[in-house]
Structure 1
Amino acid sequence: MVADKLFYKTLLKNMFSDPFQIKFWDGTVENYGEGEAKFKIIFNEPIPKGDIINDPSMALGEGYMTNKVDIEGSVQDVIESLYNNKESFLKNGAKYEKLLKKIKSTIKTSKENIQFHYDIGNDFYKLWLDDTMTYSCGYFKNDTDSLTDAQKNKVEHILKKLNLKEGQSLLDIGCGWGELIITAAKKYKVKALGVTLSSEQFERVKERIKEEGLTDLVDVKLSDYRELKNLTFDRVVSVGMIEHVGKENLQEYFQTVNKLLSKNGLSLVHSITGINDGGTNTWIDKYIFPGGYVPAVKELVNYISEQDFELIDVESLRRHYGRTLENWARNFEKALPEVRKSKDETFIRMWRLYLNACAASFNCVNISIHQILFGKGVNNDLPWTRDYMYR
C-alpha cells in the first residue's frame, strides 16, 4: 500500500493545471498546487498501477463508474484541468487515442453497435435532451438561446447550407428522432427520407410523421444506408453519424454517398473530428459507442477529394458542442430522480463521466466538430457568397 501511495503521489503531482487535493483510501490527504483546491479526487481503493500505466482511460473511467474513484467538485473541471496541463502524464492517454480496428464493420455489426447506444429507451433520452429530441451539437446564435433554440438553429443552419428548393429529394443518413427531415418537409416542401438503425428511433419517427400529417412528403426506414438500392437524392446529409461507421468504412461511406447523390447534388456531413489524427478512446469504445471512430478533418477532406466531389464549405462548431454538452449534463443531473427508477448507480456515473468528459474535450480543443459541404459535379446554382447560410 505504501508503494501504491508513492506511485499515486508521483503520478498525480503534475497532472492538473489547477490546485487540487487527493484523498487516499487510508484517509490521508495531499494538497497540490498553490492556492485553494479547485476540486478533490478521492481514491476509495487503489487501482492497480499496471492498469493505469497500460490504459489510463479505461482504468480511471471504470474506477469512477464503480466508485473506486470519486470527485468532489465538477467532473468537467477536473478533466479540463487535465487537458489544460500539456505536461500531464495522462494528457495523451486520456484523450482520443488511436485504437484502429482491423476488422471491417459489417451491416450486422453496425446495427448492433447503434442499438447498444440508442436503444436504451426513448424515455431515457427524453429526460435530458431538448424538446426536439435532437442528440447532436446545437448551434447557439445568441447567449440567451435555450437548448431547444440551439437545436432548431442547427437544423435550420444545415438546411440553409443545402440550399433546398421545393420538390427536391433529401436523404438523412442516421436521422435520429426525425427533427431534420420533418423540418425540411414542412419548411421547404422537399420529399425527405430518413434512415436509422435504431428501432426505438424508427418507431418514434413514424409516429411524428403521422402526427405532423407529412406522410406524403416524409418517410423513414429501419435500414443501413448501404442497403438503399436504385435511389438517388438531390441532397444527402448526415449529422453525428459518420463517427459510427469505423475507420475501415470511411471510404465506403463517401463511395455510397456518391452513388446516392444525384448529378449536381449537394451533401453535408456533420462530424466530430480529431485535431491532428483520427482515433477513439478505449473507455468510450467499450461503454458508450462501440465500433466508433472520430476521423481527422484531413481524412474527411481526403475521402471527399477521392470521389471528385467539390469541397464547398468547412465550418467548426467546437464551442457550440461544448455548450450543448454542458446543457445535457445539467439536464441529466436534474433528471436523476427519474433516471434512478430504471438505471443503477454505475450507469449513472458512466453517463455523468461521458457527458462531462466530452464537454471538457471540446472546450479544451482536445477534439472538434465540423460541418463540411460538398457537391457532385458542377453546381453553379449556389449563391456567390455565404450570406445565404445566415439570412
Structure 2
Amino acid sequence: MFARLLRAGIRTGRISVIDHLGRRQDFGSGSPAVTLRLHDPKVSMEMGLNPWLKVGEAYMDGRLTIEEGSLYNLIEIGMVNTSGLMGAKMQRVMGVFNKLLRWWHQHNPVGLAQRNVAHHYDLSRQLFELFLDESMQYSCAYFQRPEASLAEAQQAKMRHIASKLLLEPGQKVLDIGCGWGGLGIYLAKTAGVKVTGVTLSREQHEVACQRVKAAGLEGQVEFKLQDYRLEPDRFDRIVSVGMFEHVGLKHFPEFFGKVEELLVEGGVALLHAIGRRDGPGHTNPWLRKYIFPGGYSPALSEVLPVIERTGLWVTDIEILRLHYAETLRCWRENFNRNRDKIRALYDERFCRMWEFYLIGSEVSFRYDYNMVFQIQMSRGIKAVPITRDYMFDWERQEAAAPKAKIAWKSGEAAE
C-alpha cells in the first residue's frame, strides 16, 4: 500500500524502497533522493493507510531506516509532493474529518492546558540548553543578516518585539507564556519596565526564577506558575510569544477577551505566533500525538475576526517568512552536535523522534504553508503613532547602543 501511494504521488525527487524480503522499488526520479529499508511486513501497509502518522512512528521505532540520503531528504520529498500523495479526493475527506475532530483535539481548559504544556516543556532543561541559544529563546528568531548567529538573531527578535511595544520606564508588562524568562528579563533590562510573566511549565518557571536572581532583577521581574486566565492585575503592555499555538481555536475568544480585560486604556499588546498561509486546517497527527498535544497554528482568517469582536484595534501586522526555517536549521545543527549527550539524557528513540520533529518543522516553514505573524493591538485609536517610523527608530537606536551584559545563569557577571 505504501508503494501504491508513492507510485501515484512522487513527482519531484526519488524514493527507493527495499522491503523486508530485500526487494527494491524506485519511485520518481532526480533529486533529492533517498533509499528506505522496511524491516517488517506490516509497516508498509500502516504507512500506506496513514503516512502522516505512521512514517514518523516507523522511523522512531527503527522499523524504517535510511540507507542512502537522509531523513531531511525523505521529509523534503514528502512535503513538496503533498498534493500528489494525498490526491484531491483524499484531501477533501481528510479535511472534513480533521475539522470535525479539531474541537476535541484543541480542548485546552484550565488544568488540561497545563498537562498538555508539561508533555513538551517539562522535559529536561539540559535538553533545551543543548540546542537553544544562551537566552533560551524557543521561538522564531529574526535574521536581519543571513550570516547572523542564532544568538544574534534571537537578540534581534527580542529587540524587534520591544520596538513594537512602545515601552517606557516603570510601565507594567505582562508576558503570557514567558518560557524560561528570556524576553521578560530582556525587556526589564533594556527598557526599565516591570515584568510579570506567567507559564504553565514547572520546569520553565523554576529556571525563569533562577535567571531573575542571576540578572539581579528581583522586585522588577516576577514569574508565576499560573494560567493567564487567572491573572487579576491590569497592564500597560502585554506580549505573548510562541504561546498562542497552544490556545486552541475554541479558546480564541477567551484569549483575546482576557487580553482586552487586562490591558489598560491606551495600552498596547503584541502577539507573536506560528500561522498558516493556506487557510483553516488541522495539526499534523504525528506532531499532535508526540510533540504538541492540544496545539494548533491558525490562519489569520481564524484570528482576526475574533480580535474584531473584542473591540481591540489591530494597529500592525507583520508576516515573517523563512525566519523560522533558519531558526530550526540552527537548532537542528546544535542538536546533531550534541546528539550523544541527548541520547544519554533519554535514548535513541527519543533522538529519532526529536530529529523528525525538528526536520519536519524546518521543511514546513521552508517549503509548505507555515509562517510567523506578529499582530500589534491597542485599546484606543491613538495608542500608537500613525506611522511605523517609531519602530525602526527605536530598533536602530537600541542596536547601536552599548550593550549591558545579561547574566543568564547563576555565577555569570551582570553589568
- CA gap of 1:12–1:331, structure 2 versus 1, over 3 A, is same
CA distance in 2, matches of 1:365, 1:12: 19
In the alignment, which residue of structure 1 is the partner of 2:210? Answer: 207
SS in 1 for 2:111: helix
Q: Which amino acid aligns with 1:82?
A: G
Alpha-carbon distance, 1:251 to partner: 1.1
Cα deviation digits, residues 242-279 of structure 1 (max 9, x gap)? 11112221110001111111111111111111221142
Q: Which amino acid aligns with 1:185?
A: A
Q: Which amino acid aligns with 1:77?
A: N
Alpha-carbon distance, 1:15 to partner: 3.2
Does residue 349 of structure 1 match 2:352?
Answer: yes
CA distance in 1, matches of 2:375, 2:45: 41
Alpha-carbon distance, 1:232 to partner: 0.6
Which stretch shows the higher mean deviation, 78-87 or 340-349? 78-87
Alpha-carbon distance, 1:49 to partner: 6.2
Per residue, is there more helix in 1 or in 2? 2
CA distance in 2, matches of 1:281, 1:387: 39
The answer as to whether partners of 2:32 and 2:73 remain within 8 angstroms in 1 is no
In the alignment, which residue of structure 2 is the partner of 1:234? Answer: 236
CA distance in 2, matches of 1:41, 1:312: 50
CA distance in 2, matches of 1:310, 1:54: 46
1:358 aligned residue (357, 361, 385): 361
In the alignment, which residue of structure 1 is the partner of 2:200? Answer: 197
The answer as to whether partners of 2:240 and 2:270 remain within 8 angstroms in 1 is yes
Alpha-carbon distance, 1:50 to partner: 6.0
CA distance in 1, matches of 2:350, 2:280: 30
In the alignment, which residue of structure 1 is the partner of 2:80? Answer: 84
In the alignment, which residue of structure 1 is the partner of 2:328? Answer: 325
The answer as to whether partners of 2:2 and 2:49 remain within 8 angstroms in 1 is no
CA distance in 1, matches of 2:3, 2:51: 16
CA distance in 1, matches of 2:389, 2:74: 39
TM-score under structure 2 length normalisation: 0.87
In the alignment, which residue of structure 2 is the partner of 1:70? Answer: 65
Does residue 29 of structure 1 match 2:11?
Answer: no
* Structure 2 alignment gaps of length 5 or more: 397-415
SS in 2 for 1:349: helix
In the alignment, which residue of structure 1 is the partner of 2:271? Answer: 269
Which stretch shows the higher mean deviation, 319-328 or 65-74? 65-74
Structure 1 runs of 4+ off > 6 angstroms?
none
The answer as to whether partners of 1:262 and 1:376 remain within 8 angstroms in 2 is yes
Cα deviation digits, residues 315-344 of structure 1 (max 9, x gap)? 112300011111111111111110111211
SS in 1 for 2:78: helix
Cα deviation digits, residues 146-185 of structure 1 (max 9, x gap)? 1111111111100101111111111100101111111111
Identical-residue share of aligned pairs (%)? 37
Alpha-carbon distance, 1:74 to partner: 2.9
SS in 2 for 1:172: strand
TM-score under structure 1 length normalisation: 0.92
In the alignment, which residue of structure 2 is the partner of 1:12? Answer: 6
In the alignment, which residue of structure 2 is the partner of 1:61? Answer: 56
Counterpart mapping for 1:1-391 below 5 A: 7-16=1-10, 17-35=12-30, 38-47=33-42, 51-52=46-47, 54-71=49-66, 72-90=68-86, 98=99, 99-102=101-104, 104-229=107-232, 231-275=233-277, 276-382=279-385, 384-386=387-389, 388-389=391-392, 390-391=395-396
CA distance in 1, matches of 2:27, 2:388: 53
Q: Which amino acid aligns with 1:318?
A: R
The answer as to whether partners of 2:163 and 2:390 remain within 8 angstroms in 1 is no
Q: Which amino acid aligns with 2:151?
A: T
- Aligned residue-pair number: 383
- CA gap of 1:48–1:35, structure 2 versus 1, over 3 A, is closer
Q: Which amino acid aligns with 2:5?
A: L
Q: Which amino acid aligns with 2:225?
A: L
CA distance in 2, matches of 1:212, 1:164: 20
The answer as to whether partners of 1:19 and 1:33 remain within 8 angstroms in 2 is yes
- CA gap of 1:47–1:273, structure 2 versus 1, over 3 A, is farther
The answer as to whether partners of 2:5 and 2:48 remain within 8 angstroms in 1 is no
Alpha-carbon distance, 1:19 to partner: 2.4
CA distance in 2, matches of 1:209, 1:235: 20
Cα deviation digits, residues 277-335 of structure 1 (max 9, x gap)? 14212111111111112211111111111111111111112300011111111111111
SS in 1 for 2:108: coil
CA distance in 2, matches of 1:163, 1:70: 51
Alpha-carbon distance, 1:145 to partner: 0.6
Q: Which amino acid aligns with 1:88?
A: G
SS in 1 for 2:65: strand
Alpha-carbon distance, 1:226 to partner: 0.6
CA distance in 1, matches of 2:389, 2:46: 50
The answer as to whether partners of 2:343 and 2:350 remain within 8 angstroms in 1 is no
Alpha-carbon distance, 1:41 to partner: 2.2
Alpha-carbon distance, 1:34 to partner: 3.4
